[in-house]
Structure 1
Amino acid sequence: MASRRNTIVFTDWDGTVTLQDSNDFMTDNIGFGEERRRELNIEVLEGRWTFRDAFRDMLDSVHKPFPECIEYLKDNIQLDPGFADFYKWAKEAGIPVIVVSSGMKPIIHALLVKLVGQDAANNIEIVANDVKVNDDGSWDIVYRDESGFGHDKSRAIKPYAELPKEERPMLFYAGDGVSDLSAARETDLLFAKAGRDLITYCEREGIPYTVFHNYTDIHDKVKAIVNGEVTLESAIENENVEAL
């Protein structure tokens, strides 16, 4: 094992650990549809609307009772084929994997149990929004904080990033979309999913990142860095920006 054992991997959930974004999937198929959702994503990406307000608008268009939403997603959402092996390696290496999501914890937990197993659900910390289920079966998202994101993901990472140098772990983050914008600057290496909005944001803002297509890419890169085979600096693939 490694030249550096003190490591934490933070990861988005929807569209990063899973192949589909569960909230987008609900919005597209049982809400107001993909066209309107993409319009809202662009508004957030361009800074004309907050993620918090756009996300609530999306979820308000979904009228299926919450327990039915969970079953619907369990029937339709697929796991990234590389994540299970990555989780097994990280657990054996003593590396915490922390899900930091703008989605809802009950949905993520239910999908984690189904897709990866109860062991993973017991061991992977989930930092996410919550849900209030009403007596009539309707439901509302309960945001984690007061920020324009509803859940400012950077707040989950900063306590580790701001530790004294001798105590600070090596930090990784993997994400794909507009909900990851607040976390993009906070770790030593950012993995951004190919073809998604997070890359657009990083290119515009000059934030260093490395591209991933699936979790096998992340597994290979993190393992090589932890084992001292490559440096963090060499793992940054884009050449248009300088490392933080």
Structure 2
Amino acid sequence: MDSVGQMNGGNVLRTDDLAQIYCDFDGTVSVQDATDFVLSQLADPEWQEIERLWENGEIGSGECMRRQVSLIRARPGQLDEVLDEIEIDPFFASFANFCAARSLPVTIVSDGVDHFIRRILRRHGLDHLPVVANRLVVSTRTGQPQYFLSSPHAGPTCTTTAGVCKCRWLTAHKQERVYIGDGRSDFCVADKPEFLFAKGELARHCAEREIPFFAYRDFGDVIASLRKAAAHLPEAVEKSQYATV
């Protein structure tokens, strides 16, 4: 599939019009879902049944995450060793540098786990990026580490009962916003930003509902399209195409 820049005819984006860039993390910045990878390596098998409950719509994503994280059976050092196996998009560091050079603030907004995200970013020298995510709490009161999640960024009116209400963060900014995502946790926010990059499940969701988006494969595509998109952000949205990756 063509990159977004090619789909839009190679125009130049006026980056001074952009107020904020938001990125999902699991499957967007990271190559694989960090939480699922940790659970598959370190949690009791019950985590998979909890996942099915969420997939069937029987529980919200916030409850799903809290119950799953409590099943992790590992010392903190073991947890970090597993996290160090997780790779990020090969172009994400270049994307972060591209944005920094143009004074475009980038924030990670994820329904994942803050420690997982920060550990992975730190390994790539990107831990300066702000992270909005569920907060990991580790207790050793029983002699064995126990893991809990708190959700300081949940919203009381969140339609998906997520641990992190992404809509709340995007609607706090009234100027142009860019959002980059890939999966189910991004569905509710898909129609909020002026400039949406989507792949995977998110791209299919947007195509089915005729939500304008730019398809991408990796952050190399995102960099290229931010350089080549139309001069004014609202116009760029109008010219976007419906596509799946």
TM normalised by structure 2 equals 0.79
Aligned twin of 1:157: 170
Aligned twin of 1:24: 36
Trace 1:158-173 onto structure 2 (pairs within 5 A): 158-161=171-174, 168=175, 170-173=176-179
Give the one of 8, 25, 41 matched to 1:13.
Answer: 25
Instruction: Return closer, same or farther for 1:2/1:216 CA change in 2, 3 Å cut-off.
Output: closer
Aligned twin of 2:194: 188
| Cα pair 1:28 1:37 within 8 Å, conserved | no
State yes or no: 1:71 paired with 2:86: no
| Cα pair 1:127 1:156 within 8 Å, conserved | no
Give the one of 84, 102, 110 matched to 1:101.
Answer: 110
Aligned AA for 2:130?
E
Moved more, 211-220 or 52-61: 52-61
Q: Secondary structure at the match of 2:127?
A: helix
State yes or no: 1:39 paired with 2:49: no
Instruction: Return closer, same or farther for 1:90/1:132 CA change in 2, 3 Å cut-off.
Output: same
Instruction: Report the identity percentage.
Output: 23
1:181 Cα offset (Å): 2.3
Instruction: Return closer, same or farther for 1:101/1:239 CA change in 2, 3 Å cut-off.
Output: closer
Q: Secondary structure at the match of 2:73?
A: coil
1:205 Cα offset (Å): 3.8
Alpha-carbon distance in structure 2 between the residues aligned to 1:226 and 1:121? 31
For the aligned residue pairs, the C-alpha RMSD in angstroms reads 2.8
Q: Secondary structure at the match of 2:212?
A: coil
Give every structure 1 segment of 4 or more consecutive aligned residues whose post-TM-superposition deviation is greater than 4 Å: 33-38, 226-231
Moved more, 13-22 or 229-238: 229-238
Question: For 1:137-165, what per-residue CA distance to the aligned partner results, in whole angstroms no more than 9, with x for missing partners?
Answer: 1110111225410111111111113xxxx
| Cα pair 2:206 2:242 within 8 Å, conserved | no
Aligned twin of 1:164: none
Question: For 1:25-81, what per-residue CA distance to the aligned partner results, in whole angstroms no more than 9, with x for missing partners?
Answer: 1123333289647634532xxx4431112222332332223442123111x100101
Aligned twin of 2:219: 215
State yes or no: 1:55 paired with 2:65: yes
Higher relative contact order (CA 8 A, sep 6+): 2
Aligned twin of 1:199: 203
Alpha-carbon distance in structure 2 between the residues aligned to 1:125 and 1:155? 16
TM normalised by structure 1 equals 0.80
1:218 Cα offset (Å): 1.3
| Cα pair 2:213 2:242 within 8 Å, conserved | yes
Give the one of 114, 132, 136 matched to 1:131.
Answer: 136
Gaps of 5+ in 1: 162-167
1:125 Cα offset (Å): 1.3
Gaps of 5+ in 2: 1-11
Alpha-carbon distance in structure 2 between the residues aligned to 1:25 and 1:227? 40
| Cα pair 1:27 1:37 within 8 Å, conserved | no
Alpha-carbon distance in structure 2 between the residues aligned to 1:193 and 1:40? 24
1:234 Cα offset (Å): 5.5
Alpha-carbon distance in structure 1 between the residues aligned to 2:167 and 2:243? 24
Q: Secondary structure at the match of 1:160?
A: coil
| Cα pair 2:69 2:147 within 8 Å, conserved | no
Alpha-carbon distance in structure 2 between the residues aligned to 1:89 and 1:4? 11
| Cα pair 2:51 2:64 within 8 Å, conserved | no
State yes or no: 1:141 paired with 2:141: no
1:95 Cα offset (Å): 0.7
